[in-house]
Amino acid sequence: MKRDSVKIGVIGLGTVGGGVVSALRRNRAEVRARCGVDVEVSRVADLDRSRLQGIRLPDRSLTQDYKDVLNDPDVRVVVELVGGTGVARKVVLGALGAGKHVVTANKALLASSWAEIFALAHKNGRGVGFEASVMAGVPIIHTLEVGLAGNKIRSIHGILNGTSNFVLTRMDNRGVEMDRAIEEARKRGLCEADHSLDTEGHDAQQKLSILASIALGKWLPPDDIAREGIGHVEKQDLSEAREQYGYALRPLAIYKNIGGRIEARVHPTFIALDHPLAGIENEFNAALIQADTAGPVTIAGKGAGEKPAASGVISDIISLARAISERGDQGIVVPRPPDGRRIRITPLAEVESKYYLRFSVVDRPGVLSFISGALGKHGVSIATCHQRGRSESGTVSIFMTTHHARDGALRKALAAIDRRAAIVKRSTVAIRIEE
């Protein structure tokens, strides 16, 4: 049965919500051509009356109570752009409960309530589009869910947080320290007053939770993902690694499925300068997916911003509207419902990696012997080692790279080394190397 229009309701009229409404109006002909039907924004809700008045819609379409949208029998798709995990969760579950399809850009909600949302969506046969939740308008969700369907996903290496990537590449390209790079990010509107969601890796952790859950077909909760921020990195780490080893530092979110052994972690990571992700600079995002049949697939673009996010939301609205117009409500593409079994993530202590190490030590005989002895005692094998000449303070930097070592063993070795206050002047910096 063909319908003349599919009516949607938008809840939350911030910059993305406003952008979605105006882009649907501006590109109405294109949208109709894609869907075979008009997409009509018939209801919008926002607590803020002034935002409602900014939308060019008849008064009867405007409401301050989101429940009016959920209770409107004409609304087939609810677009949740409230954000957060409080009201937004009620909106999403309420809409699915009322038999509506849902589009959301809400990474925090999806990551924290994945099992609950998709179990309800599956039970009620309703679709949930969430393209904009990761990498905004760059279609990473469709790529994993549809384009690479039938592949086993062996790994995902993602630069999923634009702010952290801006800060690290800025430090590297301009030779500035982190504070200065964060200040520049702030001036460009790339980061909030409190930047810790970005620089501490929480944002990337939520996004990796979503990507890994699709790849696995099971929920991988964000709290199960090991997380390390970029705060301990100094500009000398970037310059030494580039000059000595040909490495660039990127804030990576890493998922691996090694024959059923699952790793998931977020941390700054050195990669070779010719690695596909080394060319991703500033606020750009990218993901390198290793698929068993397709091989390596990289997808990159603007991972944030109002317009890119609106693009992701609109692509979901179009997919749903097209399906509704052609088939009615049944059988929208829904991620597989998680099977409820808990996934065992390999504990970080058991994860193996190569490491870059920077020791800040006094310059005197026996220091190198002490360090290499402590590493060797814990089974950590040194690949390269060099020292930078004495600084004014009498402290020197010793740089090392290791062969593959277990994280737990390395941490024990470093703890033993850092405990020797007569030799070690500052905490040792350890950064993983990925090949």
User: Quick one: tokens of 275?
Assistant: 């690695």
- Measured between alpha carbons, how far is 212 from 207 in angstroms, rounded to an integer? 9
Q: Among 147, 176, 186, 224, which residue interacts with its own copies (rule: CB under 8 A)?
A: 147
Minimum CB distance to its own copies, residue 258 (Å): 17
Minimum CB distance to its own copies, residue 434 (Å): 17
User: Do 264 and 226 form a contact (C-beta atoms < 8 A)?
Assistant: yes
Listed ranges 142-150, 201-209, 343-351, 389-397: which one lies at the site for its own copies (CB under 8 A): 142-150
Listed ranges 133-141, 202-210, 365-373, 405-413: which one lies at the site for its own copies (CB under 8 A): 133-141
Give exposure, 147-171, as e/b (b: 16+ Cβ within 10 Å). Answer: bbeebebbbbbbbbbbbbbbbbbbb
- Measured between alpha carbons, how far is 201 from 113 in angstroms, rounded to an integer? 19
- Measured between alpha carbons, how far is 328 from 290 in angstroms, rounded to an integer? 36
Minimum CB distance to its own copies, residue 24 (Å): 8
**SS3 of 232-296:** CCCHHHHHHHHHHHCEEEEEEEEEEEECCEEEEEEEEEEEECCCCCCCCCCCEEEEEEEECCCEE
Contacting residues for 71 by C-beta, under 8 A, at least 6 apart = 98
Minimum CB distance to its own copies, residue 312 (Å): 7
Q: Which residue has the tokens 């077909």?
A: 217
Q: Among 54, 99, 331, 347, which residue interacts with its own copies (rule: CB under 8 A)?
A: 331
Contacting residues for 225 by C-beta, under 8 A, at least 6 apart = 205, 208, 209, 212, 264, 265, 266, 345
Does residue 131 touch its own copies according to CB under 8 A?
Answer: yes
Does residue 338 touch its own copies according to CB under 8 A?
Answer: no
Does residue 403 touch its own copies according to CB under 8 A?
Answer: no
Q: Among 123, 174, 188, 327, which residue interacts with its own copies (rule: CB under 8 A)?
A: 327
Q: Which residue has the tokens 């068993």?
A: 292
Does residue 189 touch its own copies according to CB under 8 A?
Answer: no
User: Quick one: tokens of 392?
Assistant: 């004014």
* Stretch 154-173 residues interacting with its own copies (CB under 8 A): none
Minimum CB distance to its own copies, residue 274 (Å): 8
Listed ranges 27-35, 262-270, 344-352, 402-410: which one lies at the site for its own copies (CB under 8 A): 27-35
User: Do 66 and 33 form a contact (C-beta atoms < 8 A)?
Assistant: no
261-272 and 424-433: which strand pairing?
parallel
207 is catalytic: yes
What does the per-residue mask of binding to its own copies show for 284-323, with x meaning CB under 8 A? --x----x-xxxxxxxxxx--x-xx-xxx-xx-xxx--xx
Q: Among 30, 48, 74, 192, which residue interacts with its own copies (rule: CB under 8 A)?
A: 30
Listed ranges 8-16, 31-39, 42-50, 348-356: which one lies at the site for its own copies (CB under 8 A): 31-39
User: Do 389 and 396 form a contact (C-beta atoms < 8 A)?
Assistant: yes
Residues lying near its own copies in the complex (CB under 8 A) = 23-24, 27, 30-31, 33-34, 131, 136-139, 142-143, 146-152, 217, 274, 276, 279, 286, 291, 293-302, 305, 307-308, 310-312, 314-315, 317-319, 322-323, 326-327, 330-331, 333, 336
List residues with catalytic annotation: 207
